[in-house]
Amino acid sequence: MTYDAVEASHGWGVLHLFYAVDHDRADREAGGAKRILEAIDTFCAVEPHQIRTFAVLGHKADLGIMAVGPDLARLQALQQDLARGPLRLTWSYVSLTESSEYAATEDDERARLVADESLTDPAEIEQHLATWRERIQHYREQRVHPALPERRMLCFYPMSKRRSDDPGGDNWYALPFDERKHLMAGHARVGRTFAGRVVQLISGSTGIDDWEWGVTLFADDPDALKEIVYEMRFDEVSARFAEFGPFVTGIVLDPAETLRRVGLDP
């Protein structure tokens, strides 16, 4: 298939697709699983496009596919190619990777070193800042141009910030920027306590899909997925301002094994 690439000026496309297996069609049409695998191989043949496939737990779908890459036209072509297999799309979600507008700046980190660690020597502060710059550069690059991790479990859900029109109601967007940034810094500190246990990919969908963000969590331990969402709901950002959509959880496997687990033998 020939098409013109469609790329965002900032960030990569993220496409979550959730399918029910059409077993009647699979029985009638030979080679359905092979067509699905060919669609995945074709998409991933051009770097840095990536896919994770997972067998979904619960009734919302059988098969989940998370596809990431710079070319949205390639993502759309993948969706059309997958439709040639014995699959029925039950839900989808579209978003773009993004950097956070609330991320700490170098001035923020310098002020923290002085206030929290009582550093006063300019040379020592600069040494700490050099380490911080390297770490934050990696973090920002991974957020905008992610390498999808190899973990056993995946959980996806969309969310938005509450914006009540009622007098006295919670409206995230009515808060001054500095207050929102302060609240998000505390929210991020809770998330960092799960470093090594949970990998988070937060992608933006304002104006693109029904919610404002898509959140994908990767972990080896299913309990870590439950724990991080539970703990973060006590944080003010979630407790006062978060609205959550449906959650979908699955077991991450290589594409051929995923298809076997949902009843499509390659």
C-alpha torsion sign, points 217, 218, 222, 228:
negative
Residue 215's nearest CA partner among 63, 151, 228 is 228
DSSP H or E run through 155? strand 153-161
Asked whether the beta carbons of 209 and 160 are under 8 A apart, the reply is: no
DSSP H or E run through 64? strand 63-69
**Has 93 been annotated as catalytic?**
no
Asked whether the beta carbons of 179 and 187 are under 8 A apart, the reply is: no
3, 19, 139, 157: the active-site residue: 157
How many Cβ atoms are within 10 Å of 69's Cβ, its own excluded? Answer: 22
Report the C-alpha dihedral over residues 99, 103, 107, 112, rounded to 10 degrees: -150
Going from the C-alpha of 196 to that of each of 69, 137, 153, 191, 215, the distances in angstroms are 24, 18, 14, 11, 17
Report the C-alpha dihedral over residues 174, 183, 240, 93, rounded to 10 degrees: 80
Pairing of the two strands 87-97 and 153-161: unpaired
Residue 255's nearest CA partner among 42, 41, 32, 17 is 41
- Residue 215 CA to residue 157 CA, distance in Å, equals 5
Catalytic residues: 157
